[in-house]
Structure 1
Amino acid sequence: MESRVLGRTTIRLSPIIMGTWQTGKAMWAGIDDKESEKAVRAAMDAGITTFDTAEVYGNGHSEKVLGKAIGTRRGEAVIMSKVFSNHLKYDQVVGACNRSLKNLGTDYLDHYQIHWPPGSFGGKKVPLEETMRALTDLKDQGKIRAIGVSNFSLDQLKTICEIGPVESLQPPYSLLWRHVETGTLAWCQQNHVTILAYSPMAQGLLTGKFGPAHQFEKGDHRSSNRLFHDDVYPHVQQALDALRPIAEAKGISMAQLALAWVIAKPGVCAIAGARNARQAVDNAQAAEVLLTDAELAEMDRISRPVTGLIDENPVQWKW
């Protein structure tokens, strides 16, 4: 699998990154630790080198499972974690990083990100200068190799980039959720800030596995995703019907089609979750899919009736 450079660093990422939110179990249903471990190992065997986790995913459970699964293969993996918005004071950042290192069973993180901007979810609005000072000190100490942010607006991203070196932005980005394209993507490409796109399959929607009457299991946070709401979901189903012939003609899965669309963008990697080894391998194979200009244009056309229904709020969920 090809690799892509993270920002202005020498760190190389696989274009398909394995996301491990679901591995934490909290806010998901039907997740099994053993299957999660098998998924990580299968991803590595299939060429995925990069793994994204966070302290808040199951209160460290995702990190623990990921660390156990990687085990002695740490040298083959690029591990990215995130500090949550309630831990952005200097000492809190340091403490959170140390906990993540312990959970993962490693002495360094390749990439450490601010999960949500200061003040999110009712947290205290810690000055970005204080948080960046902690992250910079951790980098100087060798505990982290690079710094990134997640869920920041373009203005917030520009502000923090003036304070210190930021190598990536992690926003939601898929064929059906394209807020990042209104200025942010172009700015990141021009300023060597890598886009780490989460929910590139629209939380499973673009796999085509959810039919018109789909109901989520109790505890599955995806029921709050705005793409599943009654005013949007029928249009999503129409889009899926139009996308299937493209995937079938190329001999690929709908998931691979969705991922290939995201990584066709320069400077963009796709973070894809997997519940089991089969899904992990399927995701990895998307890195080999090449979409023609005509296919990209057709997919763009198909997506517009859905994206046109979504307002300017970039947060996918209505909680």
Structure 2
Amino acid sequence: MEYKKLGNTAIKVSPFVMGCWSVGGDYFGSVEDTNSIRCIKTYLEHGINTFDTAEVYGMGRAEKVLGEALKGTDRESVVVFSKVWPLHYGKKEMEEACDQSLKRLGMDYLDVYFLHYPPQAGTSMELAMESINELKRKGKIRSIGVSNFTLDMLKEASAYGTVDVIQPCYNLLWRYIDKDILPYCVKENIGVIPYSTLAQGLLTGRFTKDTQITGGRAKAALFQPGVYEECLEVTDALIELGKKYDHSATQICINWLVKNPNLTAPIVGGANSEHALDNLKALDFIMEQEDYKKIDEISSAFCEKMPEYQLFFDTKVKGE
């Protein structure tokens, strides 16, 4: 398995990153810890050594479960990301939050610590970056990341310290960063670790026009009536293409993202070992170049019609 260098750091990550949001058992519904642990271990056994979590995923539960699954593993053989919530961007608060994350994970450092969202009212970018830089100086984190930042926010943060990686939303139905963030990161050699790479399941083929949308998805932009049906048309194209390679829409989608030279590694989830093994099959084939291009064209045509939503998780449009 080939590992990729993360931006300008010495950290090497696997072709895709296991995302642990669902391990927290909140946004996506209940999940058994034993199944999550099996999923993590299955990924690890097959070479996926990079894991992404956050303090707010299940209010610490995801970190605890990940720590349990990795117990006994050589720390230097795995790469672990976590994220700090904006309420904790003060120096004292951030160090306490980092210490709690490390305690739950059973580790003494994080490979990447992300500012989960831009600073909120009352907290400046300068303070947030000073706080996270202090953790790096103390050796509690190896590198600094930002998540859900615009290009202007990324540049502002970079004025106060080195930002090694950004974690934006990016998938075949959501490609706003193609316009500005992605070219900038390629130019500056900043790592790009995209989340929601399967559009919260929309690109897997398991949703239909008759599926009842529940939970957090019900508020997300792509799951709204009118938009949702057009999303399914993109997925149908992936399903059809998958027949050519005897692979699922999920595997086609992950493969396309892994082969994108402008991305470092996409985040891919999993609820159990069966999901992990299924997702790993996305790495065992290469499509013809014309098919990568075909997917890009279908995806681009859809995305160009979309309004520019602020976040994946609601329907607010930029400028409104």
TM-score range for the pair, normalised by the shorter chain length: over 0.9
Find the counterpart in structure 1 of residue 195 from structure 2. Answer: 198
1:31-46 equivalences under 5 Å are 31-46=31-46
CA distance in 1, matches of 2:5, 2:278: 23
CA shift in 2, pair 1:89/1:64, >3 Å: same
Q: 1:146 is matched with which residue: 136, 143, 146?
A: 143
Identity in percent: 37
Question: Unpaired runs of 5+ in structure 1?
Answer: none
Return the offset for 1:261: 1.4
Residue 119 of structure 2 aligns with which residue? Answer: 118
1:6: Cα distance to partner? 1.0
Paired with 1:62 and 1:247, the residues of 2 have a C-alpha distance of 32
- Equivalent position SS for 2:145: strand
How far has the Cα of 1:286 moved from its partner? 2.0
Name the counterpart of 2:85: 84
Could you report, residue by residue, the CA deviation over 1:36-81 in whole angstroms, capped at 9, with x for unpaired residues? 1110001101110000000011111100001001111142210000
Other structure's SS at 2:88 match: coil
Structure 2 residue 164 is matched with structure 1 residue 163? no
Q: Are positions 1:271 and 2:271 aligned together?
A: no
Report the secondary structure of 2:41's partner residue.
helix
Runs of 4+ in structure 1 off by over 3 angstroms are none
Deviates more, 1:228-237 or 1:42-51: 228-237
CA contact (8 A) 1:26 1:57 kept: yes
Deviations along 1:185-229, one digit per CA (max 9) or x if unpaired, are: 011011011110101111111110111111145xx2122221111
- What are the ranges of 5 or more consecutive residues in structure 2 without an aligned counterpart? 316-320
Q: Which amino acid aligns with 1:193?
A: I
Q: Give the corresponding residue for 2:182.
A: 185
- Once the two structures are TM-superposed, the CA of residue 111 in structure 1 deviates from its matched residue by 0.8
Aligned amino acid, residue 273 of structure 1? G
DSSP 3-state at the match of 2:118: coil
Q: Whole-Å Cα distance in 1 between the matches of residues 144 and 90 of structure 2?
A: 16
- Separation in structure 2 between the aligned mates of residue 162 and residue 79 of structure 1, nearest angstrom: 25
Residue equivalent to 1:313:
309
Q: Does 1:259 align with 2:251?
A: no
Q: TM-score, normalised by structure 1?
A: 0.94
Aligned residue-pair number: 313
Alignment check: 8 A CA contact 1:84 1:115 kept: yes
Structure 1 position 207 matched with structure 2 position 208: no
TM-score where L is the length of structure 2: 0.94
Task: Look up the match of 1:280.
Answer: 276
Structure 1 equivalent of residue 318 of structure 2: none
> Distance in 2 between the 1:290 and 1:169 partners?
27
